[in-house]
Each structure stands twice: as structure tokens, then as C-alpha cells.
Amino acid sequence: MIIPSNTFFNLSTDKQDRIITASINEFSKRSFEDAKLSNIIKESMIPRGSFYQYFIDKKDLYLYIFEIIKNKKIEYLKNLLINEQEIPFLELFRLLYAQGIKFSIDHPQYVDIFKVFINTKGPIYKELMGDSGKEAQAYYVGYIESDKAKGIIRKDIDSQILADLVISLTTNIAINEFSEGEINYDNLLKKVDNIISIFKKGIE
């Protein structure tokens, strides 16, 4: 988890919000490499020297913004996770994905940040995608193993490969959709349903 310095958290809520809002505004318009701290500092109305009391550098701030977005998405999804152990893996995945689409529609600036992020694929891309992919894989493998024990998924299926396939295919669909412009909830969900149907029925 990325955490700013204690000095940042000792700021008033208003000042913290100004810095976060200014950062989101900048990163939603420019790639990590092209984003300017001077714009963020000017919009958030803080002295330049103060910034380095809160964050190590621009990368530290960028990673923190992604951490904020991730935590807000988890909060958005939490109502689906009350009885998650009772829901079969593919059904749970569909519910989470559908809610994730709604989250994106409700938070267009977060989507703009992600669009810039995936379109530029700078050095920080692999770092962020690698970390999030590992977290998602570990999360889903647990549910796949649970479904195996219940007889829902065949025991000979490789849990990690299945988790990777589901994540990779659905992530690519989302990336393509984001690249095309406005998010279409029904279109995205239909594509995901087709993938889930293939997993359930197989191709032979």
C-alpha cells in the first residue's frame, strides 16, 4: 500500500482534498511522464517545497492516486461481498464485473486516468498492472478452489490458469471499450457473458 508522509495526513481535510482533486485533474489529462507537478501545486494552492513534505516525488503521488481509486472501487463493491463464499466463482465474477462497469460510469475521471495510463504504457504501466494482476489472481484462485471442493468446477482445472484467463480476457475487453470512448454498460456485460458462457460450456 502506498502511504504519503504523516505530514500529509496532518493537513486539514480541505487541503488534502485540494491536492487529491488537483492530482486527479492532471493525471486524467496527461500521462505520468507528461503530467506536471507545477500544475498540481498551482491548482491545490500549496508551496512547491511543501509538496516534498507530503510525497517523495511525482511517482509516489501517482501511485497514491491509484491506491485511492482502488480503495474507492472496493468500497463500491463491498455490498456484493457479504455472502461471497456462497456464490459460485463465475457468478461472483460477473456480479463484480457488472458493478465495476457501473463504478466506471459513475467516476468518469477515474476512467480518463486509466485511458491515459493504458494508451501510453509508460515504464510505470508494468509495475501497476503487475501488482493489481497478482492481487486479483490470488483473490480469484481462492474461489476457484472453493468451487472445486463443491464439485462446481472440475478438479483437474488449473486454478491459476483459469484465474489468469478470466482476468486477461475481461481486462482486454474493458481496455478496448475504454479506448473507443464512452462506456456502454450493456455492450460490455454482453461480451463478458459470452466469455463466461464459453468457460461454463467449453468449446467441445
> What domains can you pick out in the chain, each with its CATH number?
6-61 (1.10.10.60), 83-201 (no CATH)
> How much is the pTM?
0.83
- Which tens digits make up the pLDDT trace of 14-47? 999 999 999 999 999 999 999 999 999 999 999 9
Count other Cβ atoms within 10 Å, centred on residue 68.
15
Mean pLDDT in the chain?
87
Task: Indicate the range of 3-7, 121-125, 175-179 predicted with least confidence.
Answer: 175-179
As a whole number of angstroms, the distance between CA 133 and CA 26 comes to 25
Q: Tell me what pLDDT residue 180 has.
A: 66
**What confidence tier does 1 reach under pLDDT thresholds 50, 70, 90?**
low
Cell output for 188: 460490455
Say which residue, 138 or 120, is predicted with more confidence. Answer: 138
- Which tens digits make up the pLDDT trace of 64-107? 999 999 899 888 888 777 666 788 999 988 888 888 888 888 99
Q: Tell me what pLDDT residue 87 has.
A: 86
- Which tens digits make up the pLDDT trace of 186-199? 888 898 899 889 98
Q: Are 65 and 21 in contact (CB under 8 A)?
A: no
DSSP notation for 64-123 = HHHHHHHHHHHHHHGGGGTTGGGS-HHHHHHHHHHHHHHHHHH-HHHHHHHHHHHHH--H
Helix (H, G, I), strand (E, B) or coil at 149: helix
Say which residue, 82 or 162, is predicted with more confidence. Answer: 162
Q: pLDDT over 90 for what percent of the chain?
A: 47
As a whole number of angstroms, the distance between CA 75 and CA 67 comes to 12
* Nearest CA among 156, 127, 133 for reference residue 62: 127
